[in-house]
Amino acid sequence: MGEDVPKLTLTLDHDGPMPLGSFTEALSRLSGRYGRYSRTHGEADAAKLYIAEIRQGSIVIDLVSAAVAAQAVIEGAGGVNNLFEFGKNVASLLGKFRSGDTNPAEVSISDCDDARAIIKPVLNSDGGGLTLAVNGDHNIIQPILIHLNQHEAQVIDNRAALLRNALGTQIEQSVSSALFVWKQIQDGPGIEVGKRSPDRGIIASVDRTARPVVFADANVKDDMYRGDQNPFEVGFVVDALILLGPNGPAGYRITALHDVIPLDPA
């Protein structure tokens, strides 16, 4: 493919042989995550990542999307944005597990498994590291999205394993057509929080304490945040998953919005 095709460039630094299984599992997890991401962000169901080139030295892999490549030909630089946003999604995922502040309500089991697989090739190599960047039109390098050394990769692996175990011991319950009210909102897509979720809300039929909130789809947060109404003066009829820990509800994942209703004045 030509230089005008946007590429997601993954660099794996290593000292000595790299296990083939770790390498292929990392690429497989990236591809699967891209498929899920593209389906929820308007790309074709068949969107997949392909290896365009593997270069010598450290393992430098250029990954391209057939859908993005076609878009780049038609729309010029527009194709860069899709891969750039997906790259930010992966960087945000790894950033969650690099932080000690993330709680189980903010990630899923697949998030934990994806993160551990992506960084696995550099875990057991002295001097190992991972860099993710995007090459845009005419091979213009976009800012590096994330760079990890071996120690940071080990922190991510340990944190993801702990959170996955916590998720395995927690029970997810669901509520339908429940009244949700905001207590705190931060501008930005609730589905891709880099560290702790800054959003807090209450579902009084479950718990009267404000809990962390994440969203199955960023559009749901937009519908509950943007618009003519003040989001703190209305209630939202939602479907939600409740993540339960040993001490009760740990957070909510809003899956659907059904209605917006005015609240009685306090």
65-116: pLDDT as tens digits: 765 444 444 344 444 567 788 888 899 899 989 887 777 777 888 899 999 9
**Rounded mean pLDDT of the chain?**
79
pTM of the model: 0.61
Helices (H) and strands (E) in the chain — how many of each?
6, 10
Ranking 12-26, 68-82, 202-216, 236-250 by mean pLDDT, the lowest is 68-82
57-71, 90-104, 202-216: least confidently modelled range: 57-71
CA atoms within 13 A on the CB side of 10: 25
β-pairing verdict for 207-215 and 248-262? parallel
Structure confidence at residue 66 (pLDDT): 62
Over residues 17-56, the pLDDT tens digits come to 777 888 889 989 998 888 888 877 766 545 678 887 787 6
pLDDT tens per residue, range 143-159: 688 889 889 999 999 99
pLDDT(174) > 50: yes
Asked if residues 150 and 163 have their Cβ atoms less than 8 Å apart, the reply is no
| pLDDT at res. 104 | 74
Q: Distance between CA 30 and CA 56 in Å, rounded? A: 21
Mean pLDDT value of segment 199-225: 88
* Residues belonging to the chain: 266
Task: Give the rounded percent of residues in the chain with a pLDDT score beyond 90.
Answer: 21
Q: How far is CA 170 from the centre of its chain?
A: 21
In 3-state terms, what secondary structure has residue 243?
Answer: strand
Rounded to whole angstroms, what are the CA distances from 202 to 73, 120, 210, 237? 47, 38, 5, 12
The rounded percent of the chain whose pLDDT value lies above 70 is 78
User: Which residues, in sequence order, are bridge partners of residue 51?
Assistant: 63
